[in-house]
Each structure stands twice: as structure tokens, then as C-alpha cells.
């Protein structure tokens, strides 16, 4: 039986960072595994480029004390230096003084367990405070927790409301996750056209997961007219923007000749880039190429190595493949 190459598809973004949850689909006829839509499951921290857009939020932030602003900046400096515990201390002081971005970043610490003991309930409370103070990343991050049921009771409709609030304020990650909700029919009626619309807005705002997801819709003809060349262009934008899933998706396009000429060497190069970014499907597909000797020299040892990495990253099929090669 032929080996099963994995295709990469859509990913949705969360507010603070980017937690990524991937779901794998299989095509029984072609024996191809596809990574469908995935939500960004990592929180995102607020950066200088991410500013509030609501007039009320701007007004509120003007009232934040200079001490709170300095604490927030000190927190970011500590973050940059890798001293997450010190960063959390500064963010907490600033958040206590109603600095919205500091609350979001402190929430990220509790969400990811960086600098503090992981506590999803505290993360949710801090994201809510950030959101209420006008930080749209906080809204998007809180939305993801509601969608995934982490720290709060799962509520897809509440998640959609929060994604809408963030997206309306041009927070691109909120748009990606809102697109994902319409793509999967979570909290709203499934609507691929709306999914494409929100992915496009996210991509225009340089959210690379949004670009990847929009590319997937074009590759499948869902909500848009099937167009492999457009799909490939969006996958390339995502990959060039350092989204590993975009690289794996683009690699699959070269593997299958979708929108580009078949080029196994290029596919291998792109799968490797995806795998280097800890994207399990890129690792899986690269293992397949080494097992088959396509685009690379046939090497069972390297195939096993990449299957094992994909397995460690959560791909159950790769675990089975690794066992077969041992």
C-alpha cells in the first residue's frame, strides 16, 4: 500500500499567542492525510504594534499612571531577556493599575506557565480584565479559552462574540478564529463564504494562519472558487511569514503539483522548514519522502527520525509508522 502523505490546511488564531490544535483528515481513495482547520491554541502577548482601537479604551489607557507604563515596559524588557518570573512581577504591578496590555501579558504567563505556575482560570480572568480595558488581544485570547473550555466552561457562542469584538477592532488573530468558527460551524451556522471573508481580513492584517487557512479554502473550493494557484500564493505568504503550517501546505502543493509543477526536492525543503518549526505534518511528510526516496536520497534511518519527531509532536499516525520501521 502506498505511503500516506499529509496535507496541511487551515489554522485559526487566538488572541494572545498561538496555541495550535490540529485535526487530521484522511482521503481513503488517495490515501492522503490532510490537516484541516486548526485553531491557534497558543496565547499571544501584546507588542508595541498592537494598540487599542476603541475610543473608550484609548481614553481609559490615557489615565494609566506613568508608573504602570514603566512597569509594563520593564516587564517587556524582562520578557526579552528570558526572565519570565521578573516579567510577571512587573506585569502584575501594571495590571493592578489597570494597564490593559500588562493584564493580557500576565494572562499569557498563567496560560503558558511562563514565569508563574500555569493556571487557566487565572489566565481567563486576566484576559477578561484586559478585554474589558480595551485590549483586543485579551478579547481574542479569552475567546479561545471559551472555545476550548480551558479555565472557563466551554461556550462556542461566547467565543464567537469575543472573536467578533476583536476582529471588528482589526485584531487579525480574532478574525482568523472567527473564520475558523464559521468554517467548522462552532457557535454559528457553518458558512464557508463567511469563513473565507474573515480569513482574508486576517491575512490582509498579516496573520499568517489566516493566510494558510484561506489558501486551504481555495485548494478545496470551499466558499470560494477552486483555484490552486491562489491557494499556493497564500501558502507561500504564510510560509514566508514564518508560519510552519504554511510551509508544510506549500510543500504539499509542490508534492502533488497543485498550482505549481511537481518538484519533490522543493517539497522536501518546505516540509523540512515546517518540521523545523515543530509542525508535525511537515515532519511526517518529510519522513515519507525519505522512505520513498523522492526528492531526497532514500534513507530509512532519517525516515524513522522524522516519524519519531512527528510522533513526539502529537501525530498518532506517525507513531504507528515509526513502530513499523523499527
Tell me the pLDDT band of 14, cut-offs 50, 70 and 90: very low
Copy the grid coordinates of residue 164.
467578533
Residue 36 domain-assigned? yes
Residue 266 domain-assigned? yes
Residue 61, pLDDT above cutoff 80:
no
Residue 67 domain-assigned? no
Residue 232, pLDDT above cutoff 50:
yes
Give 259-271 pLDDT, tens digit per residue.
Answer: 999 999 999 999 9
What's the mean pLDDT in 97-126? 95
The residue range of the domain holding 218 is: 6-44+172-325
Tell me the pLDDT band of 55, cut-offs 50, 70 and 90: low
Residue 155 domain-assigned? no
E runs forming strands in the chain = 6-7, 11-12, 17-20, 25-27, 32-34, 38-44
- CA 11 to CA 208: how far, in whole Å? 9
Tell me the pLDDT band of 46, cut-offs 50, 70 and 90: low
Residue 12, pLDDT above cutoff 50:
no
Domains in the chain, number: 1
For residue 223, give the nearest of 245, 206, 198 by alpha carbon.
198
Residue 286 domain-assigned? yes
- CA 232 to CA 169: how far, in whole Å? 29
Residue 114 domain-assigned? no
Residue 239, pLDDT above cutoff 80:
yes
Residue 13 domain-assigned? yes
CATH number, position 305: 1.25.40.10
Residue 225 domain-assigned? yes
Give 268-287 pLDDT, tens digit per residue.
Answer: 999 999 999 999 999 999 99
Copy the grid coordinates of residue 315.
501525530
Amino acid at each position: 500500500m502506498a505511503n500516506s502523505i499529509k496535507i496541511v490546511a487551515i489554522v485559526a488564531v487566538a488572541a494572545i499567542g498561538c496555541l495550535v490544535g490540529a485535526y487530521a483528515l484522511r482521503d481513503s481513495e488517495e490515501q492522503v492525510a490532510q490537516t484541516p482547520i486548526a485553531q491557534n491554541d497558543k496565547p499571544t502577548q501584546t507588542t508595541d504594534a498592537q494598540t487599542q482601537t476603541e475610543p473608550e479604551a484609548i481614553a481609559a489607557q490615557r489615565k494609566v499612571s506613568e508608573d504602570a507604563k514603566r512597569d509594563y515596559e520593564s516587564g517587556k524588557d524582562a520578557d526579552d531577556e528570558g526572565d519570565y518570573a521578573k516579567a510577571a512581577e512587573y506585569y502584575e504591578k501594571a495590571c493592578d493599575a489597570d494597564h490593559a496590555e500588562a493584564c493580557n501579558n500576565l494572562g499569557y504567563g498563567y496560560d503558558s506557565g511562563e514565569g508563574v505556575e500555569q493556571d487557566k482560570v487565572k489566565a481567563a480572568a486576566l484576559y477578561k480584565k484586559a478585554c474589558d480595558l480595551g485590549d483586543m488581544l485579551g478579547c481574542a485570547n479569552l475567546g479561545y479559552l471559551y472555545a476550548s473550555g480551558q479555565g472557563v466552561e466551554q461556550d462556542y457562542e461566547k467565543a464567537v462574540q469575543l472573536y467578533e469584538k476583536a476582529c471588528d477592532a482589526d485584531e487579525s488573530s480574532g478574525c482568523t478564529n472567527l473564520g475558523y468558527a464559521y468554517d467548522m460551524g462552532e457557535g454559528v451556522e457553518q458558512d464557508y463564504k463567511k469563513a473565507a471573508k474573515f480569513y482574508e481580513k486576517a491575512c490582509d492584517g498579516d496573520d499568517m494562519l489566516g493566510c494558510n487557512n484561506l489558501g486551504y479554502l481555495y485548494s478545496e473550493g470551499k466558499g470560494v472558487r477552486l483555484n490552486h494557484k491562489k491557494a499556493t500564493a497564500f501558502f507561500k505568504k504564510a510560509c514566508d511569514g514564518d508560519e510552519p503550517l504554511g510551509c508544510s501546505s506549500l510543500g504539499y502543493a509542490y508534492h502533488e503539483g497543485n498550482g505549481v509543477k511537481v518538484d519533490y526536492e522543493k517539497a522536501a525543503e518546505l516540509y523540512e522548514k515546517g518540521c523545523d518549526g515543530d509542525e508535525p505534518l511537515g515532519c511526517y511528510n518529510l519522513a515519507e519522502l525519505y522512505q520513498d526516496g523522492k526528492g531526497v536520497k532514500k534513507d530509512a534511518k532519517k525516515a524513522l527520525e522524522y516519524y519519531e519527531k512527528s510522533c513526539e509532536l502529537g501525530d498518532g499516525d506517525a507513531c504507528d509508522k515509526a513502530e513499523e520501521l523499527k
